[in-house]
Amino acid sequence: MRKINLFDTTLRDGEQSPGVNLNVKEKLEIAKQLEKLGMDVIEAGFPATSKGDLLAVQEIAKTVKNSSVTGLARSVKGDIDAAWEALKYAEEPRLHVFLATSPIHREYKLKKTKDQVISTAVDSVKYAAQFFPIIQWSAEDACRTELPYLAEIVEQVIEAGAHVINIPDTVGYITPKEYGEIFTYLRENVKGIDNIILSAHCHDDLGMAVANSLSAIEHGAGQIEGTINGIGERAGNAALEEVAVALHIRSDYYKAKTGLYLKETKRSSDLISNLTGMAVPGNKAVVGKNAFAHESGIHQDGVLKEKTTYEIISPDLVGVSTNSMVLGKHSGRHAFKNRLQELGYEISDEEVNKLFVAFKELTEKKKEISDDDLKALLIEEKVSS
Ligand code: KIV
Ligand code: ZN
């Protein structure tokens, strides 16, 4: 089984979600939970952006010992100096330095030629190598970059001393097949690529961030970047809990695993949702409120007979105590009777049949029937426990 490193950027790209603003104490609390979850790398912030960010990265670097801590820097000395100021306390200081490579970014944002972009990237890696034992270099907007040029710049930054090469889909534009092909192309055309780790960093603008990340793994990526709950710039980043659980459940297919303690997944999701104020949609994979809830009578009946009929992930795997049978208009007699028994009512089949008619009538007026609704129904129908 190949081990895939997970690089969590909840505190950097995740904090770039519109409306999210975490203070130092909150960032530290999240970082400690990410360490407990077993993240390999935690990107704690972007030290050059503000004093607060520098301080937060510094605190996290001093505190977290079981995950590697990193911070982001543009390809300028000032950013790299700020990152060193924050990260020098880390057990294994790691820099994440980036520069845009696509024609759109070169022409309109950087106003640099191809050669100037290469020399800026190489100089930044060489400068950082004086301080940092581990350097990750990212080609911002890599997926809209000419492939031969991407290969050329990647080869040069590896030669300059980069240890991890990240291929971000900055604008969430690529498809899984195309993303995989970029990794294959680089592996076949870049000298020195076998000695470094290739990393994937996907945004979700077209809803393909997790699929693209998994495709990268199939094509040789050794590190996946993302956030918990998939929060992040615009439509967000790849949700790391989804990547990790997909690898776990489909290990037969991917033949790869992460080092996450999956039982800490739900706790991490809840904490991040509470502190960022970003609610998790009910139907979100792995951590949504409905991820382990069954509503239809056919599904409820199946799950009550054998869980795996409709449940491919055991709730316990990700730290959710139990699945749930939501009683509503699609529910059947089996789930209805089962819930009454859980509430302590032992009722004859004849009475259940009578009550079930009343229950169905109630579902015409109410979407979800609570335990209190059921108890009221029993009182109305004069059934005692
Ligand atoms: O999406 C992106 O390109 C980034 C880089 C800074 C790695 O977040
Ligand atoms: Zn990003």
**In this predicted model, what pLDDT tens digit does every residue of 259-314 receive, in sequence order?**
999 999 999 999 999 999 999 999 999 999 999 999 899 999 999 999 999 999 99
- How many angstroms does the Cα of residue 28 sit away from the middle of ligand 2? 21
138 lines ligand 1 (CB under 6 A): yes
pLDDT interval class at 173 (50, 70, 90): very high
Contact 300, 294 (CB under 8 A): yes
Select from 139, 77, 71 the least CA-distant residue to 110.
Answer: 139
- How many angstroms does the Cα of residue 71 sit away from the middle of ligand 1? 12
Query: For residue 141, which atom of ligand 1 is closest to its CA?
Result: 3
Contact 105, 75 (CB under 8 A): no
d(CA 262, CA 265): 5
Q: What does the chain come to in residues? A: 385
Q: Which residue in this structure is represented by tokens 């030629």?
A: 113
204 lines ligand 1 (CB under 6 A): no
Largest Cα–Cα separation, the chain: 84
Minimal-distance CA residue to ligand 1 atom 1:
170
Contact 338, 284 (CB under 8 A): no
Minimal-distance CA residue to ligand 1 atom 5:
140
Query: For residue 237, which atom of ligand 1 is closest to its CA?
Result: 1
Query: For residue 140, which atom of ligand 1 is closest to its CA?
Result: 3
- What letter would DSSP give residue 289? T
pLDDT interval class at 381 (50, 70, 90): confident
Contact 202, 212 (CB under 8 A): yes
Q: What pLDDT does residue 159 have?
A: 98
- How many angstroms does the Cα of residue 16 sit away from the middle of ligand 2? 9
Task: Show Cβ contacts of residue 24 under 8 Å, excluding neighbours closer than 6 positions.
Answer: 52, 55, 56, 59
59 lines ligand 1 (CB under 6 A): no
Query: For residue 171, which atom of ligand 1 is closest to its CA?
Result: 1
pLDDT one-digit tens code per residue, 32-79: 999 999 999 999 999 999 999 999 999 999 999 999 999 999 999 999
pTM of the model: 0.95
170 lines ligand 1 (CB under 6 A): yes
Q: What pLDDT does residue 138 have?
A: 99
Q: What pLDDT does residue 385 have?
A: 54
**Is the sign of the CA dihedral 44, 174, 160, 192 positive or negative?**
positive
Residue 163 has pLDDT above 70, yes or no: yes
What residues have their beta carbon closer than 5 A to ion ligand 2? 13
- How many angstroms does the Cα of residue 48 sit away from the middle of ligand 2? 17
Binding residues: 13, 201, 203, 237
- How many angstroms does the Cα of residue 201 sit away from the middle of ligand 2? 6
98 lines ligand 1 (CB under 6 A): yes
pLDDT one-digit tens code per residue, 189-243: 999 999 999 999 999 999 999 999 999 999 999 999 999 999 999 999 999 999 9
Calculate ∠ Cα 343-348-352, nearest 5°. Answer: 70
**Residue 289 CB coordination number (10 Å):** 15
Contact 157, 122 (CB under 8 A): yes
268 lines ligand 1 (CB under 6 A): no
ipTM of this model? 0.99
Binding residues for Mn(2+): 13, 201, 203, 237
Question: What residues pair up with 167 in beta bridges, in sequence order?
Answer: 200
13 lines ligand 1 (CB under 6 A): yes
Contact 266, 320 (CB under 8 A): yes
Q: What pLDDT does residue 383 have?
A: 67
If DSSP states are collapsed to H, E and C, what string results for 351-373? Answer: HHHHHHHHHHHHHHHCCCCCHHH
Calculate ∠ Cα 209-52-64, nearest 5°. Answer: 65
254 lines ligand 1 (CB under 6 A): no
Alpha-carbon torsion angle 17, 22, 27, 29, nearest 10: -110
Query: For residue 96, which atom of ligand 1 is closest to its CA?
Result: 7
